[in-house]
Amino acid sequence: MYDKGKVITGIVLFVIVFTFPFWINVGKANIAPEPKINPEVAGKVCVEDKAFMKANHMQLLDEWRDSVVRDGNRTYMGGTGRYEMSLTNSCMGCHNNKAQFCDSCHNYVSLTPNCWNCHIESKENTNG
Ligand code: HEC
Ligand code: HEC
Ligand code: HEC
């Protein structure tokens, strides 16, 4: 015969010890970033759809810069309309909460783009 209570306690202990590395991190560094959309533009659309922006905004910004600096073209025909190709006026015009939006993701991947050495963060909110 065996002691049912001890077996169950053993199983419970095993599960706790075995999964410890996973749940010890809950609420800590593993939290996925939650970029906050500025409430003033919530419900609007980005210059391209959300999935595209999430994956490709870096390349898009490079294209915008090249188009403006090399070709002098400042108008972008996006999937959702016509936009001025400007980091400050367009991107940061809508996403004026850089700390809660751009930085929330970038901090997660330990990335500090140097764009803000030269470009103004936001017209309304210059300190974050
Ligand atoms: C007209 C306002 C507007 C402009 C201009 C704009 N965005 Fe957005 N952006 C939004 C909105 C609204 C969403 C959320 C879309 C949704 O939820 O479907 C969004 C979504 C995003 C996302 C995805 C966020 C996520 O949670 O995955 C990224 C990244 C992003 N924008 C970056 C940019 C960049 C970079 C620029 C400039 C090239 C830009 N946006 C220009 C309004 C704008
Ligand atoms: C949904 C998360 C998310 C949001 C929101 C977001 N980014 Fe990013 N961004 C990333 C990730 C992840 C990378 C790194 C991608 C890689 O290395 O392939 C990145 C890379 C970049 C880069 C390239 C930097 C470099 O040095 O290579 C730029 C520029 C950039 N983001 C600008 C912005 C701006 C401006 C905003 C706010 C308007 C923004 N991002 C919002 C996730 C995000
Ligand atoms: C050393 C200074 C400097 C740095 C750093 C820099 N830029 Fe620029 N950028 C400029 C200048 C100058 C222009 C030309 C401005 C104009 O003609 O309107 C420009 C133009 C642009 C443009 C098109 C016009 C505009 O005003 O937005 C985009 C988009 C852009 N840069 C994106 C970026 C991104 C993204 C980063 C970071 C990965 C970055 N830049 C880093 C100086 C810089």
pLDDT digits (tens, 9 = 90+) for 53-109: 999 999 999 999 999 999 999 999 999 999 999 999 999 999 999 999 999 999 999
- pLDDT score recorded for residue 14: 72
Ligand 2 pocket, 106 CB below 6 A?
yes
Write the burial class of residue 74 (CB in 10 Å: 0-12 exposed, 13-18 middle, 19+ buried): middle
Dmax over CA atoms of the chain, in Å, equals 85
- pLDDT score recorded for residue 127: 43
Ligand 3 pocket, 79 CB below 6 A?
no
Query: Which amino acid does the sequence have at 46?
Result: C
Separation of CA 50 and ligand 1 centre (Å): 7
Nearest protein Cα to ligand 2, atom 25? 113
79 in the Ramachandran plot: left (φ > 0), alpha (ψ -120 to 50) or beta? alpha
State the CB neighbour count (10 A cutoff) for residue 90. 18
